[in-house]
């Protein structure tokens, strides 16, 4: 059984300077309640690993706009103009990673792999400083695993064993991120008891989950206003 905590309690161990993964794609699948708790707590100097920085007032985008992030790993920051401003003025160090590589590096960490070989980025600025290998005549870049101390994922339903159901397009990076962080908090709209979740409907096995928080800020209106 996994502990069901308040959002405040769940983010308690996140320190200034901690590394944090936040699942989501343009706000879709962001854990709004957990992001809000982190902002209320005053956390800063975070290393944030997230697919994109959403829109300025939506989910993970708020961490950028409220100056909580010192280092960012992302694939795209174009929909949140504040990200670009902070990168250009040197307030935030930004590493941009091709999206497939981003997900596979995180998955590699969670799957116990020492890295992955990908053809993406060959012949571009992405290959700078990286080892190249030729397999069957094709060039690949060695990309290293990417992990974090904490991860936030968002589920529609979660049972008390931590098994999560993520519907539709909300899955995105959540499965890989849940595998790759030391302490994984799931924000769930509905928490059910053992046996109330169909094992066939599990998107993220509970083994990866550390704590469960009931969602108090449902996605919808927050996200769709963007």
Partner 1 sequence: MKRVRLVKRIAQEFPDGALVNLGIGMPTMVANYIPQGRTILLHSENGFIGLGAHAEKGKEDPRLVNAGGQPVTIVPGGCYFDSAMSFAIIRGGHVDYTVLGALEVDMEGNLANYMIPGKMVPGMGGAMDLVVGAKNVIVAMEHVNKNGAPKILKKCALPLTAKGEVDLIVTDMAFIRVTKKGLVLEEIAEDTTVEEVLKATEAPMHVAGKIGRF
Distance of CA 184 to the CA centre of its chain: 10
Distance of CA 113 to the CA centre of its chain: 19
Please give the size of the binding site for partner 1, defined by CB under 8 A. 52
> Which range, of 4-12, 24-32, 37-45, 157-165, touches partner 1 by CB under 8 A?
24-32
Inter-CA distances, 137 with 13, 101, 116, 117, 173, Å: 48, 21, 17, 14, 31
CB 126 → partner 1: shortest distance, Å? 7
Helix/strand/coil for 22: strand
Inter-CA distances, 134 with 27, 140, 143, Å: 38, 6, 14
Q: Which of 42, 123, 129, 137 binds partner 1 (CB under 8 A)?
A: 123
Partners of residue 143 on adjacent β-strands: 116
Q: In what order do the strands lie in the sheet with 132-135?
A: 116-118, 138-143, 132-135
Helix/strand/coil for 200: helix
> Which range, of 5-13, 63-71, 117-125, 209-217, touches partner 1 by CB under 8 A?
117-125
CB 172 → partner 1: shortest distance, Å? 5
Helix/strand/coil for 117: strand
Q: Which of 40, 124, 131, 216 binds partner 1 (CB under 8 A)?
A: 124
Q: Which of 25, 150, 152, 208 binds partner 1 (CB under 8 A)?
A: 25
Handedness of CA 120, 125, 131, 132 (dihedral sign): positive
Q: Which of 14, 36, 48, 104 binds partner 1 (CB under 8 A)?
A: 104
Q: Which of 163, 203, 210, 215 binds partner 1 (CB under 8 A)?
A: 203
> Which range, of 11-19, 39-47, 98-106, 209-217, touches partner 1 by CB under 8 A?
98-106
- Beta strands 116-118 and 138-143 are antiparallel
> Which range, of 1-9, 11-19, 38-46, 166-174, touches partner 1 by CB under 8 A?
166-174
145-164: which residues touch partner 1 (CB under 8 A)? 156
Report the interface residues with partner 1, using CB under 8 A: 25-29, 51-52, 54-55, 74-79, 84, 87-88, 96, 98-101, 103-104, 107, 118-126, 156, 167-176, 203, 219-220, 223-224, 226
């Amino acid at each position: 059984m996994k502990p069901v905590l308040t959002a405040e309690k769940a983010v308690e161990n996140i320190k200034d300077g901690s590394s944090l993964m936040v699942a989501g794609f343009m706000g879709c699948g962001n854990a709004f309640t957990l992001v809000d708790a982190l902002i209320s707590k005053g956390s800063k100097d975070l290393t944030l690993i997230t697919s994109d920085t959403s829109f300025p007032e939506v989910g993970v985008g708020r961490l950028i706009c409220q100056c909580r992030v010192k280092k960012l790993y992302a694939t795209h920051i174009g929909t949140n103009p504040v990200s670009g401003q902070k990168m250009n003025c040197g307030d935030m160090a930004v590493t941009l990673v091709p999206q497939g590589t981003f997900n596979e590096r995180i998955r590699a960490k969670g799957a116990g792999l020492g890295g992955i070989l990908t053809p993406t980025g060959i012949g571009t600025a992405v290959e700078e400083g990286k080892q190249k290998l030729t397999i069957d005549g094709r060039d690949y870049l060695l990309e290293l695993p990417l992990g974090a101390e904490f991860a936030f994922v968002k589920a529609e339903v979660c049972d008390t064993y931590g098994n999560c159901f993520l519907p539709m397009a909300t899955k995105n990076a959540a499965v890989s991120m849940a595998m790759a962080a030391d302490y994984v908090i799931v924000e769930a709209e509905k928490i059910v008891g053992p046996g109330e979740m169909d094992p066939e409907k599990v998107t993220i096995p509970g083994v990866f989950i550390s704590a469960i928080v009931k969602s108090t800020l449902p996605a919808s209106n927050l996200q769709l206003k963007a």
